[in-house]
């Protein structure tokens, strides 16, 4: 993709105006006139996105080869974790608990963090355009996460409706909104949660949330219930375990309706219209269908017309579109990479593979044979947990990631709940410290 003259002028001006850059020498590193910030001297990998994939990759590239300069572009000042954000909605964790600093990456590994918005890409000349100026790279790793397809639900694609029916599948403002609305709801109120069609971020995520909202209602809002409209024909992940917990703990509180799409919403009345009827809930958590983050589209990373996700080769995560651009995490196309869930643990695992392969590529070495792992814990109340786990390998014959072993927890219990808490603490450290 070439840079438009309009954009080139915009980025040049932003860079010349000076920028606040973490982990580098601030304004004096801005090369005035060229629009390039932090001019490159040695080998450099730029990372777009400081979430689960990007932050892990930043650290592991430095571990693999400290001489490679790593510049991570992230719009948010702090890392806010999606895993554990359901516990905030469930009322037993705070936003502070899931908000982390990027300082560890800067101080411990020498990663340079630029808080800016990536806007455009010149893949031919290897330049990423950001709101703080132009960054040159040898290789670019993109892990931008997801965007919602608001347009698939009539009436949802406007700020008032998004605020009234928050999805909260990106941790932040919407997580707080949902938690506050649940707290403010009168006893006897109805909560509506809609599960999007697959593929979406975190297959068990909505069901963990349903369990924890039910747990909250049971304790603090007698007479209330949560109605679930699931676009899928059944619970997408850990179904028997969730069902058993709902029967044992939340009878009369969770009303589960499979195969029911939301057709439209009305922000002025709060009405939600589904295929199987209308409802005006007190609290609504509408989770729309998802696609790769809009950034991937803006940067021109889609290789096939009509795709919602970015195609990349699973052995190296090199994108189909450009060999100097690698893509990992939720944004990847399952048809291209293989049958891995869109999870933080998978993004973390992909990041470690990409880190090794990209450093080898810079050295002119062949890629190694990768393996990948995933465990997704879910709480069904404050103490008890369940999990699904898998080990994957790269299958050369079909050029896809394949599951080689795995399974779900035999039951729910407090030990698995403890593992869920320990997993979060340890993987946050693995990414950020
Ligand atoms: C409620 C919930 C619970 C979950 N629980 C679990 C769990 O228990 N276990 C698990 O493994 N996974 C879980 N997940 C899934 C996990 O959060 C995602 O799979 C993971 O975040 C994907 O990582 P990523 O790097 O692809 O995207 P993200 O982590 O979303 O990172 C993308 C980053 O890119 C940045 N970005 C995007 N575009 C730009 C741009 N143009 N300029 C600058 N920055 C940009 C964003 O700000 C963001 O920080 C959960 C998700 C949710 C919503």
Q: Which CATH superfamily is domain 149-290 in?
A: FAD/NAD(P)-binding domain (3.50.50.60)
Q: How far is the CA of 431 from the centre of ligand 1 (A)?
A: 13
Which ranges of 288-329 would DSSP assign to H, the alpha helix? 294-298
Long-range interactions of 368-375: CB distance < 8 A, separation 24+: 369/315, 369/393, 369/394, 370/314, 370/315, 370/394, 372/340, 372/346, 372/401, 373/345, 373/349, 374/340, 374/341, 374/343, 374/345, 374/346, 374/349, 374/406, 375/345, 375/423
- Ligand 1: which residue has its CA nearest to atom 52? 82
Two tokens, residue 172: 């932040």
On whether the CB atoms of residues 263 and 274 are closer than 8 A, the answer is yes
Closest ligand 1 atom to Cα of 89:
1
28 pLDDT band, cuts 50/70/90, is very low
Q: Is 34 a residue whose pLDDT tops 60? A: no
pLDDT value of residue 21 = 40
More confident residue, 17 or 358: 358
On whether the CB atoms of residues 133 and 11 are closer than 8 A, the answer is yes
pLDDT average, residue stretch 67-76: 98
What residue segments make up the domains of the chain, in order of their start?
5-145+293-366, 149-290
More confident residue, 2 or 413: 413
Is there a common fold for 5-145+293-366 and 149-290? yes
Ligand 1 pocket residue status of 120, Cβ below 6 Å: no
pLDDT tens sequence across 134-175:
999 999 999 999 999 999 999 999 999 999 999 999 999 999
On whether the CB atoms of residues 187 and 253 are closer than 8 A, the answer is no
Ligand 1 pocket residue status of 79, Cβ below 6 Å: no
20 pLDDT band, cuts 50/70/90, is very low
Ligand 1 pocket residue status of 118, Cβ below 6 Å: yes
CATH of 5-145+293-366, one of 2.60.120.1440, 3.40.605.10, 3.30.70.360, 3.50.50.60: 3.50.50.60
DSSP string, 339-389: S----HHHHHHHHHHHHHHHHHHHTTPPPP--EEEEEEEEESSSS-EEEEE
345 pLDDT band, cuts 50/70/90, is very high
Q: How far is the CA of 327 from the centre of ligand 1 (A)?
A: 14
Buried-state track 40-52, b at ≥16 Cβ within 10 A, e below 16: eeeebbbbbbbbb
How deeply is 228 buried, as exposed, middle or buried, from its count of CB atoms within 10 A (0-12, 13-18, 19+)?
Answer: buried
User: Regarding beta strands 146-148 and 190-195, do their DSSP bridges make them parallel or antiparallel, or are they unpaired?
Assistant: unpaired
Ligand 1 pocket residue status of 51, Cβ below 6 Å: yes
Q: How far is the CA of 332 from the centre of ligand 1 (A)?
A: 12
Ligand 1 pocket residue status of 288, Cβ below 6 Å: no
pLDDT average, residue stretch 109-133: 97
On whether the CB atoms of residues 113 and 314 are closer than 8 A, the answer is no
Q: How far is the CA of 202 from the centre of ligand 1 (A)?
A: 9
């Amino acid at each position: 993709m070439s840079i438009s003259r309009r954009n080139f002028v915009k980025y040049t001006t932003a860079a010349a105006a000076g920028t606040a850059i973490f982990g580098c020498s601030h304004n004096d590193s801005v090369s005035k006139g060229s629009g390039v910030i932090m001019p490159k001297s040695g080998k450099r990998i730029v990372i777009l996105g400081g979430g689960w994939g990007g932050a892990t990759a930043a650290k592991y590239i430095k571990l693999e080869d400290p001489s490679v300069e790593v510049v991570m572009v992230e719009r948010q000042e702090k890392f806010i974790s999606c895993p554990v954000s359901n516990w905030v909605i469930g009322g037993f964790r705070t936003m502070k608990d899931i908000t982390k600093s990027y300082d560890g990456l800067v101080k411990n590994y020498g990663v340079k963090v630029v808080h800016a918005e990536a806007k455009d890409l010149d893949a031919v000349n290897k330049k990423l355009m950001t709101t703080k100026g132009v960054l040159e790279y040898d290789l670019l790793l993109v892990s931008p996460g997801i965007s919602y397809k608001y347009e698939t639900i009539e009436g949802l694609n406007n700020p008032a409706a998004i605020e009234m029916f928050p999805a909260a599948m990106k941790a932040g403002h919407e997580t707080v909104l949902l938690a506050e609305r649940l707290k403010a709801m009168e006893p006897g109120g109805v909560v509506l949660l809609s599960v999007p069609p697959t593929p979406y971020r975190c297959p068990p995520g909505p069901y963990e949330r349903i369990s924890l909202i039910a747990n909250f209602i049971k304790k603090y809002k007698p007479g209330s219930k949560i109605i679930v409209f699931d676009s899928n024909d059944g619970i997408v992940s850990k179904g028997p375990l969730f069902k058993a917990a709902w029967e044992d703990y939340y009878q009369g509180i969770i009303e589960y309706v499979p195969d029911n799409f939301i057709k439209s919403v009305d922000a002025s009345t709060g009405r939600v219209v589904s295929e199987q009827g209308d409802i005006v809930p007190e609290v609504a958590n509408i989770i729309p269908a998802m696609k790769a983050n809009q950034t991937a589209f803006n940067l021109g990373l889609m290789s096939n017309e009509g795709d919602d996700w970015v195609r990349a080769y699973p052995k190296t995560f090199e994108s189909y579109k450009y060999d100097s651009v690698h893509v990992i995490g939720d944004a990847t196309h399952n048809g291209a990479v293989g049958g891995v869930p869109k999870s933080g643990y998978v993004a973390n695992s992909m990041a470690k593979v990409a880190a090794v392969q990209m450093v080898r590529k810079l050295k002119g070495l062949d890629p190694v044979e990768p393996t990948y792992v995933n465990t997704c814990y879910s709480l069904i109340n404050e103490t008890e947990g369940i999990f699904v786990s898998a080990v994957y390998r790269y299958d050369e014959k079909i050029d896809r990631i394949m599951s080689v072993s795995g399974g779900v927890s035999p039951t729910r219990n407090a030990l698995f709940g403890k593992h869920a808490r320990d997993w979060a603490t340890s993987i946050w450290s693995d990414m950020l410290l």
